[in-house]
Structures are given as C-alpha cells and as structure tokens.
Amino acid sequence: MSSELATTVAPPLAQTLLRSDGSPTTIGPLSLPLVPDAGRYEFQRILGVGGMGEVRLSIDRRVGREVAFKIARRRDARPAGDRFVREALLQARLEHPSFVPVYDVGTDPDGEVFFTMRRIRGETLHDILHPTDATGAARFGRGRLLGAFAQLCLAVDYAHSRGVVHRDLKPANVMLGDFGEVY
C-alpha cells in the first residue's frame, strides 16, 4: 500500500494490554486504509451519539449483514481522535462474549476514523431499571437481573485481567439482549 493511501494514527501514550498468558503487549501506531471499499457500507440511520462519536446502523454489503458503524465526531481534536482509535483497538482485542466484536477499522474519504462492530439488539440496563411505563421492569425478574449482573462482573474481571479499565461503566452502557446476552 502506498503512503498516499494510508494514514498513521499514533497514540501519544502507548497502550499496554495483557495477553491471556499475562505477558504485556502494546498497541502502537496504526496504519489505516484511507478509503474503505467503495460502497461497502450502506448507511441506514443513526443509532446513537456519544462523547467521542456517532453510531450509525449500516449494511456491510461485502457480507450482507447489519453492523454498527462508529465514526469519530468531526469536532474532536487530535487527542480525542487518538482516544477513539485506542477505544477501537482495545475493544477489538477484548475477545469475550460480553464485549462487542470489532469487524473493521479505517478512515473514510474525509479522513475521519471509523470502526464497525456487531449490531447489538436489546435494552439498556438504564431503561430496564427506569422504565417509562409501569410494565417495563416487569419483563425482567430479579433472577434474570442478578444473572445479568453476574455476567457483567465477569466481563469487568476479564477486562481487568487484560489491563483494561472501562472508565464509563454505567447502566446506559450495558445492554441486555432478548436471549440472555449481556454487553
């Protein structure tokens, strides 16, 4: 790949993770393709907006599935963009059933960094604990919620065993799926 078709995003501080055997590994500079496959992602609608980026429901035409396409917010300065890249790389390296898998990382034609991940369906723990109607929480019994909490604790323990601390763990960032999934 020629240098005209790639950009390097180097986090100012190296991010160290722990491998499964406990040995350290470092996330260093990342070379990202400048333009994804032309027409690979078909945007459907915005799923949400957060502090660092916007998540869009998209179709990955290469494999024919819905994905969550997260793109860094244009207003972000360089340090925020570096944090966005580190988020994508950390998430991609955390292979656990409760962490959303990352499928792709790159930059769009405008040079904005993006990553794609599994499209998650379900309800946030916040919405379950603070329903807008009287029947909202009734669908989730105490046993199911305690089981979800146990899964959440195991996911946090896994991340900590890899040297990763979430720093924004709250009910609005925990999703419960219809089939017992906890993300």
Q: How many residues does the chain have?
A: 183
Which residues make Cβ contacts (< 8 Å) with residue 57, sequence separation at least 6? 43, 44, 45, 46, 47, 66, 67, 68, 69, 119
Question: Quick one: the chain helix, strand, coil %, rounded to 5?
Answer: 25, 30, 40
Which residues make Cβ contacts (< 8 Å) with residue 92, sequence separation at least 6? 101, 102, 105, 115
- Annotated catalytic, 168? yes
How far is Cα 148 from Cα 64, in angstroms, rounded to an integer?
Answer: 30
Which entry of 21, 133, 168, 178 is annotated as an active-site residue?
A: 168
Which two three-digit tokens encode residue 111? 């040079």
How far is Cα 93 from Cα 103, in angstroms, rounded to an integer?
Answer: 11
> Could you list the active site residues?
168
